[in-house]
């Protein structure tokens, strides 16, 4: 299937590790220009070098930006549009993974998972309206099912992301802008969340693995493939959906 992502300009938050790193590579493989950020300058420097060699026919532009600083976030998003002349796709991927039921965690989770996501999209919106582009937000199955993280802000914010994205889909459809969510299940990355759980809490890891009916967790590439489809011309009539990619982990029926 030809996705038609060549020459599209993608802005993606959190692109040096985990699912974000796979999404950056997947967009580059399709010939897109990808602007991505993370907080760690050394990771950005090495990603910029490696990706330039790996994908000579595409353009990867990483920048060190902490999205919790909304002023810096907004000026980065604007600078992406200035540098590349347009924005076609925004992928809001970062979470601060706050899972304690404390005021501090609720505040941080709202600030990063919701407010920074809103701010990313808000700043990109005039550019997306020009290109009739689209938005993909990254939620989680934890926004859909009450799981081991409850009670905590993580799932509540992820549910809010799905709702806000549906609002965007409905209100932006007349302007030709689409908005969808991708909700990953448990995605195993050695230097990621589940790798850490495997090493730090092997019992929790085994319990969660046993809940996965495919007998395995997902791979970050499997999320990237779903996001690429949502962001592509092939999904031209798909807007407002929550694309759950979880190997049938969720037991509820999504109606
Ligand atoms: N992994 C899973 O099993 C899973 C399951 C469901 C949903 N998700 C969702 O998928 C998304 C990505 O998760 P992941 O597991 O791939 O995370 P990850 O492996 O921890 O990677 C997160 C990326 O975001 C960057 N980042 C974190 N905080 C940032 C900030 N404040 N500003 C800028 N960049 C920041 C990180 O780099 P720095 O640390 O250097 O900033 C890194 O590049 C999240 O929304 C998460 O909720 C993940």
Asked whether 188 lines ligand 1 (CB < 6 A), one says: no
Inter-CA distances, 66 with 153, 167, 204, 231, 254, Å: 20, 26, 30, 24, 34
Rounded to an integer, the average pLDDT of 48-69 is 97
| Mean pLDDT value of segment 182-200 | 97
Question: Which residues 6+ apart lie within 8 Å of 103 measured at CB?
Answer: none
CB 107 within 8 A of CB 156: no
| Cα distance between residue 252 and residue 54, in whole Å | 41
pLDDT, mean over the chain: 98
pLDDT given for residue 158 in this prediction: 98
Is 95 noted as a catalytic residue in this protein?
A: no
Which one of the listed residues 84, 95, 119, 140 is annotated catalytic?
Answer: 140
Residue 255's pLDDT band, with cuts at 50, 70 and 90, is confident
Instruction: Let me know if 55 is a catalytic residue.
Output: no
pLDDT at 77 over 90: yes
> In angstroms, what is the span from residue 174 Cα to ligand 1's centroid?
32
| Number of residues assigned to the chain | 255
Which pLDDT does position 171 carry in this prediction? 99
Residue 86 near residue 130, CB atoms below 8 Å = yes
pLDDT for res 13: 99
- pLDDT tens track for 105-152: 999 999 999 999 999 999 999 999 999 999 999 999 999 999 999 999
Contact 229, 180 (CB under 8 A): no
pLDDT digits (tens, 9 = 90+) for 90-105: 999 999 999 999 999 9
Residue 198 in contact with ligand 1 by CB distance below 6 A: no
Of 163, 172, 164, 71, the C-alpha closest to 123 is 71
Task: Report the percent of the chain where pLDDT is more than 90.
Answer: 99
Percentage of the chain lying above the pLDDT 70 cut:
100
- Ligand 1 atom closest to the Cα of residue 21 is 43
**CATH code for the structural domain at 9-245:** 3.40.50.720
Nearest-angstrom CA–CA distance, 37 and 20: 10
How many Å lie between the centroid of ligand 1 and the Cα of residue 209?
A: 20
> Ligand 1, residues 12, 38, 98: which to mutate, most atoms within 8 A of Cβ?
38
Q: Tell me which residue has its CA closest to atom 19 in ligand 1.
A: 18
Residue 188 annotated to the active site: no
Residue 141 Cα to ligand 1 midpoint, Å, equals 15
Does 180 contact ligand 1 (Cβ within 6 A)?
no
Per-residue pLDDT tens digits for 192-249: 999 999 999 999 999 999 999 999 999 999 999 999 999 999 999 999 999 999 999 9
- Phi, psi at 56, each rounded to 5°: -65, -20
- Residue 6 has a pLDDT of 96
Please confirm, yes or no, whether 139 is among the known catalytic residues: yes
């Amino acid at each position: 299937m030809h996705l038609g992502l060549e020459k599209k300009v993608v802005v993606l938050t959190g692109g040096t590790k985990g699912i974000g790193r796979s999404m950056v590579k997947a967009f580059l493989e399709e010939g897109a220009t990808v602007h991505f950020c993370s907080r760690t300058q050394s990771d950005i420097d090495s990603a910029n070098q490696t990706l330039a060699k790996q994908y000579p026919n595409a353009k990867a532009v990483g920048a060190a930006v902490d999205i919790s600083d909304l002023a810096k976030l907004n000026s980065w998003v604007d600078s992406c549009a200035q540098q590349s002349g347009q924005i076609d796709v925004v992928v809001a991927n970062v979470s601060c993974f706050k899972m304690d039921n404390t005021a501090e965690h609720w505040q941080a989770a709202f600030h990063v998972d919701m407010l920074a996501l809103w701010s990313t999209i808000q700043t990109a919106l005039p550019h997306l309206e020009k290109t009739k582009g689209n938005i993909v937000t990254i939620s989680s199955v934890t926004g859909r099912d009450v799981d081991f993280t409850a009670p905590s802000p993580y799932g509540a914010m992820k549910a809010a992301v799905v709702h806000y994205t549906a609002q965007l889909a409905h209100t932006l459809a007349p302007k030709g802008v689409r908005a969808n969510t991708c909700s990953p299940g448990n995605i195993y990355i050695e230097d990621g969340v589940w790798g850490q759980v495997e090493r730090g809490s092997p019992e929790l890891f085994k319990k969660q693995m046993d809940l996965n009916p495919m007998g395995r967790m997902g791979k970050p590439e499997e999320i990237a493939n779903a996001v690429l489809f949502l962001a592509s011309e092939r999904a031209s009539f798909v807007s407002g959906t929550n694309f759950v990619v979880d190997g049938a982990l969720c037991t509820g029926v999504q109606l």
